[in-house]
Amino acid sequence: MGFQLIREIILEKNFYFVGTKITQLSKVEAEKFYVEHKNKFFYNRLVTFMSSGLVSAHILAKENAIKDWRALMGPTHVFKAQYEAPNSIRARFGLTDTRNATHGSDSPDTARREIAFFFPEFSMDDFYKYHEEAFRNNEVAFDPEHWVHRIRDAKAQKIQNS
């Protein structure tokens, strides 16, 4: 799949994959997701593109995840990305400003809304209550088959290492 290389780059940059979903948005879903751009000149082009094929959606985690993800993506405009951040994902894989290879939340509130859109079964509150400490302490292992990090069983890990 075309997005596999991008996912590998994200993994190499030490992001945790808390959730992964490959899906195809309907036009209505794409319109709903990008509703804040409804009156902008590129809206129809963006919605058409985002509903034209598969989307690889992820819940990413790490210290300063939003800031680091936005830096890894690079500027929204591909030409600017190629000039200012030539190693960024958008510089390397983006085609046009609406086909710029990636999307990323710009704030914790936006992240919460966008995660709920793609992962309605995911509870951010439960993640922070039950799982965040294990991720923070790197007590997770990567599951390449499902492209997520999973919390290691501490007892099994201790037995394995003894």
Residues marked active site are found at: 103
Distance linking the first and last C-alpha atoms of the chain: 40
Burial of 36 (0-12, 13-18, 19+ CB in 10 A): exposed
CB of 68 closer than 8 Å to CB of 103: no
Residues 6+ apart with CB under 8 A from 101: 6, 73, 89, 90, 92, 93, 94, 95
Classify each residue of 102-140 as buried b or exposed e, where b means 16 or more C-beta atoms within 10 Å of its C-beta.
bebbeeeeebeebbeebbeeeebeebeeebeeebeeeeb
SS3 27: helix
CB of 148 closer than 8 Å to CB of 18: yes
